[in-house]
A and B are shown apart, each in its own frame.
Chain A
Amino acid sequence: MISYAELERFYEGLVMKLRERGVVCAITSGMACVHYGVAETTKDCDLLCHSGSFNVLLDLLGETEISGHRCGYRGNLSPPLDARWHRGGWTSHFEWVAPTGALTLDVFGHALRESSPWPRDVFGLYAGPHTVAQMKRTNRDKDWPFITALGTRMVEADDERGWLHVFDANALAELLKEHDCPPDIVAVRPAIRLVQETDPRAAGALNAERKLWAEHDRLRIKILERHLRPYVSAVRRARAGRDLSLLADHAVRVECAGQHLPENPLRDYGLEKIVAEAKAGLVETGVLPESALTWLPDVMIYFKWLET
């Protein structure tokens, strides 16, 4: 098994090579959490890469081997590394199947749920904690303590955006006793006001936020999955079990995506509609009382990038 230190060296080396070629990129997600001091047993690398440089990244992946094993797209499902699809929230997935275990690389042209362009929030070889925390607002329970851990550390480092990422009611209440939260942050996150006022509904409001993000993520995946089915069949037929080079496989995927994969299915579905359906679903299934919706923040700022 490849050690974590080796994994980190490999992926950081990849980022350094890309930067030498003028590419704006940064490591994010689990490896970034480990970097910022929150241990996670990740072995995947999530990479943010400016979509204008995808060709450079593809060339580098094509020439990077591990113990003689070349890089390839992972399975048939991965959309192509192409700006047209990444602008709409698709992501691309690669792997090296080495004898010491597969190394996987997930590439994002946009940070999912980014409220501002991610290249503005890069710190060294890594995405800044604000971007990492936004990307972790998923439907996986295990991601949420990492978000609060990053948010707490950001508050400690006097980065006021950290207040947006603390989802633990006790931690938030204790932090607010020690440190002022700026009014503009309270204005965009109503649950903080409840905590400030020691309102008994505060914990419920924070939980409602989390449930909304999880439900939104579930709906997002459902919409994407629907469109992936015809695409994956087409890729499977076109590849016909052949062992293609990365660039040849890429060409196949671009061709199949052109025919079967809408570039921006979330925008086509309706970004506000997804949020409305997520809220309605939570109320209808009894996960949240309707009154809890009052305390939810406006989450549309996290999806503006899909409209441009």
Chain B
Amino acid sequence: MKRAPLTYRRTTLPKEKIARLREIERDFHVRAFGEELARVNLDLTKEERHCYIDWMRETARRHGVKAEQRFPYDREFEE
């Protein structure tokens, strides 16, 4: 399975329309995330996507990218 389903309902849309909507979705992913991540999101299996996320995290760690400090609970106020 590539992606978890979003609903229990079966779609009533014709196949051709779904194919066109998927093209639009792919175009958006390419614009917003880049070609590589678009492939990760839309073409890889869930397991492959997890491996890619691990690679991204490890690469970020090796290059000293600090984890994001989300407000406010990852920070402390000064005394």
Contact = CB atoms under 8 A, between A and B. Distances in A.
A149 B41 contact: yes
B12 A174 contact: no
The 7 closest A-B pairs by CB, nearest first: A37-B3, A145-B32, A93-B73, A171-B28, A156-B21, A174-B24, A4-B50
A286 to B, nearest CB: 25
B27 interface: yes
A175 B22 CA distance: 10
A159 to B, nearest CB: 6
Contacts of A39: 37, 40-41, 49, 52-53, 56
B57 A171 contact: no
Contacts of B21: 152, 155-156, 175, 178-179
A199 interface: no
Interface in A172-202: 174-175, 178-179
Contacts of A37: 2-4, 41-42, 49
Contacts of B72: 77, 221, 224-225, 228
B6 A36 contact: yes
Interface of B: 2-9, 11-13, 17-18, 20-22, 24-25, 27-29, 31-33, 37, 40-42, 47, 49-50, 52-54, 56-58, 60-61, 67, 70-77, 79
A291 to B, nearest CB: 27
Does more than half of chain B's interface fall in helix, strand or loop, or is it mixed? Answer: helix
A153 B73 contact: no
A76 interface: yes
Interface of A: 1, 3-5, 8, 34-41, 43-44, 74-78, 91, 93, 106, 123-124, 126, 128-129, 145, 148-149, 152-159, 168, 170-171, 174-175, 178-179, 221, 224-225, 228-229, 232-233, 236
28 contacts: A1-B57, A3-B50, A4-B50, A5-B47, A5-B50, A36-B6, A39-B49, A74-B73, A75-B75, A77-B76, A93-B73, A106-B73, A123-B5, A123-B6, A128-B6, A145-B33, A148-B28, A153-B6, A157-B5, A157-B11, A159-B6, A159-B7, A168-B32, A171-B28, A179-B13, A179-B17, A221-B71, A225-B72
A41 B28 CA distance: 19
Contacts of B12: 158
Nearest to A3: B54
A159 B22 CA distance: 15
